[in-house]
Chain A
Amino acid sequence: MALRDRIGRALILGAPFAWLGVFFLLPVGIVLKISLSEQRLAQPPYWPLLDISEGWEGFLAFLADLSLENFLFLWEDDLYVASFLSSLRIAAVATFLLLLIGFPLAYAMTRAPRSWRPMLVAALILPFWTSFLIRVYAWIGILKPEGLLNHWLLSVGLISAPLQIIDTERAVFIGLVYTYLPFMALPLYATLERLDDSLIEAAQDLGASAFKAFWTITVPLAKPGIIAGSLLCFIPIVGEFVVPDLLGGSETLMIGRTLWTEFFGNRDWPLASAVAIVLLVILVVPIVLFREAEARRLEMGR
């Protein structure tokens, strides 16, 4: 290879690598470091500080001053444990609901006439392009006590007093299912579309009921889509901030919100960092699984 090509190659690989190293990997390291520090009323509001000019000695002194106190505090304080558990529960339930709604939708899309399908896919993606915040905001006007849903239910006489939906977990589930539906339905659609119909025909010819054919053939073959869609929803939902903040009221505990309050409200940066590190540790397994699933999917597309 000519020298110029080698330089070009190094640049093409090096530039994005360096960018992600400096602005993604390094910051995560800094979060880890600050999670081991303690809060100070100073600028910056944490201690100890690493002073490179003091050399090796300074570095050792700095290491000695780090402590696991924040993590102990997280473990001992019920609020944080409850936030983590409730985030995981809400994310699991929401992912299940998304699967329940996303699967029939994706399946029906693959049954639609071939000429409709690009339109249907575009219609599924389009809401994803419009602002997340606006889509969550739209539900406030619908769900609040004097909102459109209650207005309509009262006027047709289905209820006699407004339902309290907003500021409850129900509203959080509605908002999560609404905003994450394309993330679930698209990977499902991609796998279901490639499904070979003759397999199902064969099963039915051999006497399987439609339900049995669906359960023993369609579902197992759709597994890559189910896994990809579920992880694509579950991981970000665990750390979700906007939906619980705008729709969940004060009773909904989620860790993304707890971290936000800790940081912007209480200005306890070391504790917020510790929350972030624990969240990261919890999500490492699903993130690795997602990466593997994506790599396999790309291999298959080849």
Chain B
Amino acid sequence: MRRGLSFFNVTALVFGFAFLYLPILLLMIYSFNESRLVTVWGGFSTRWYGELLRNEQLMAAAWVTLRVAFVTAIVATVLGTMAAIALTRYGRFRGRALFTGLVYAPMVMPEVITGLSLLLLFVAIDVGRGYWTIVIAHTTFSMCFVTVVVQSRLVTFDRALEEAALDLGAPPWKVFFTVTLPLIAPAILAGFLLAFTLSMDDLVIASFASGPGATTLPMRIYSQVRLGVTPEINAASTILIALVTVAVIVAALVTKRSVMRAERGG
């Protein structure tokens, strides 16, 4: 068959991507709506962004969310990378089947179960719930995503470089930091960003793991959304989407540059 776009394929692409993007675009457009009625266009205005900045509850929740996401992403990246190395480099160690199961299960486990089980653990060992319990809960499921991202880079990776360094007498830890780490750095960065956004997005697990002191932005948005659509939430959503989009594009550019450099160097 000839490669190329038939009428059917063009239709599939146009409808597919329109379906994915139209709702988000509409949400963003209506965040600039002067009217409080979300569906009636009352003229362009940035009024809701001003209201948003004065909404102390939302601002406090945003701050909690950023702090949780940052610490989560660091811990998850370290643990996830370690797990990826163990899975790709350690062959058939004892308990490997259990370990792979533990890595894959949290990714598909329904969030209500992950959340409930962690809460029951925190109650059983009697720790106060709040900031740190959310970090632990988020690290647990996001580290597995980091593992998958780093692992897919490690399996396609040319081991001759590592072996050469080992043959030349470099100790394994030095080989790791000077040869392996720079080569898998783009995947680690991608894993870090993935963990960060997963943590920022999560509503269900945070609702279980958090206590009275710590309310994250999704929890705050959720409780407002249940009362109805408000232009303020549209504005908050628009800011979040813009931030994530910029971060993803920057990460893509950084990764592309470093891959190109690695290829030119190698």
With A137-B233, A241-B204, A291-B104 as contacts: A130 and B24 at CB distance below 8 Å: yes
Q: How far is the CB of B92 from chain A (nearest CB, A)?
A: 13
Q: Are B23 and A139 in contact (CB under 8 A)?
A: yes
Q: How far is the CB of B16 from chain A (nearest CB, A)?
A: 4
Q: Are A9 and B222 in contact (CB under 8 A)?
A: no
Q: Are A108 and B10 in contact (CB under 8 A)?
A: yes
Contacts of B53 in A (CB 8 A): none
Q: How far is the CB of B81 from chain A (nearest CB, A)?
A: 9
Q: Are A134 and B27 in contact (CB under 8 A)?
A: yes
Asked if A93 is at the interface of the complex by the 8 Å CB criterion, the answer is: no
Asked if B127 is at the interface of the complex by the 8 Å CB criterion, the answer is: no
Cβ-neighbour of B124 out of A30, A135, A181 (below 8 A): A30
Category for how many chain A residues contact B: 35 or more
Q: Are B24 and A23 in contact (CB under 8 A)?
A: no
Where chain B touches its partner, the secondary structure class is helix
Asked if A221 is at the interface of the complex by the 8 Å CB criterion, the answer is: no
CA distance A132 to B241 in the complex (A): 11
Asked if B103 is at the interface of the complex by the 8 Å CB criterion, the answer is: yes
* Chain B 184-204 near chain A by CB (<8 Å), digits 1 or 0: 000000000000010011011
Contacts of B168 in A (CB 8 A): none
Contacts of A242 in B (CB 8 A): 203-204, 222
CA distance A26 to B136 in the complex (A): 14
Category for how many chain B residues contact A: 35 or more
Q: Are A130 and B244 in contact (CB under 8 A)?
A: yes
Cβ-neighbour of A130 out of B12, B13, B117, B245 (below 8 A): B245
Cβ-neighbour of A131 out of B9, B106, B116, B240 (below 8 A): B240
Q: Across the interface, name the chain B residue whose C-beta is closest to A147.
A: B39
Asked if A111 is at the interface of the complex by the 8 Å CB criterion, the answer is: yes
Q: Are A108 and B204 in contact (CB under 8 A)?
A: no
With A30-B117, A204-B1, A256-B110 as contacts: A181 and B20 at CB distance below 8 Å: yes
With A239-B111, A298-B152 as contacts: A141 and B237 at CB distance below 8 Å: no
Q: Are B5 and A276 in contact (CB under 8 A)?
A: no
Q: Are A28 and B204 in contact (CB under 8 A)?
A: no
With A44-B123, A283-B110, A301-B155 as contacts: A109 and B13 at CB distance below 8 Å: yes
With A127-B24, A273-B120, A287-B105 as contacts: A144 and B245 at CB distance below 8 Å: no
Contacts of A173 in B (CB 8 A): none
Looking at B20, B111, B248, which has the most chain A CB atoms within 10 Å of its CB? B20
Q: Across the interface, name the chain A residue whose C-beta is closest to B194.
A: A129
Q: Are A142 and B116 in contact (CB under 8 A)?
A: no
CA distance A290 to B108 in the complex (A): 9
For chain B residues 175-231, which have a beta carbon within 8 Å of chain A? 197, 200-201, 203-204, 207-208, 218, 221-222, 225-226, 229
Contacts of B16 in A (CB 8 A): 101, 104-105, 108, 181, 185
Asked if B164 is at the interface of the complex by the 8 Å CB criterion, the answer is: no
Asked if B79 is at the interface of the complex by the 8 Å CB criterion, the answer is: yes
Contacts of A24 in B (CB 8 A): 102, 105-106, 114, 117, 140
Q: Are A295 and B100 in contact (CB under 8 A)?
A: yes
22 contacts between A and B (CB under 8 A): A16-B82, A16-B86, A26-B121, A30-B124, A34-B120, A104-B9, A108-B10, A108-B16, A109-B13, A123-B21, A129-B248, A132-B201, A133-B203, A134-B221, A134-B240, A147-B39, A259-B116, A280-B113, A283-B110, A287-B108, A291-B104, A294-B104
Interface residues of A (CB under 8 A from B): 2, 4-5, 8-9, 11-13, 15-17, 19-21, 23-28, 30-31, 34, 44, 101, 104-105, 107-109, 111-113, 120, 122-124, 126-127, 129-135, 137-142, 144, 146-148, 151, 178, 181-182, 185, 197, 200-201, 204, 210, 213, 231-232, 235-236, 238-242, 246, 256, 259-260, 263-264, 269, 272-273, 276, 279-280, 283, 287, 290-291, 294-295, 298, 301-302
Given contacts A34-B120, A241-B111, 8 further A-B contacts (CB under 8 A): A13-B99, A16-B143, A20-B143, A30-B120, A31-B113, A126-B248, A141-B27, A238-B110
Interface residues of B (CB under 8 A from A): 1, 3-6, 8-10, 12-13, 16-17, 19-21, 23-24, 26-27, 30, 38-39, 79-80, 82-83, 85-86, 90, 93, 95, 99-106, 108-114, 116-118, 120-121, 123-124, 136-137, 139-140, 143, 147-148, 151-152, 155-156, 171-173, 197, 200-201, 203-204, 207-208, 218, 221-222, 225-226, 229, 233-234, 237, 240-241, 244-245, 248, 252
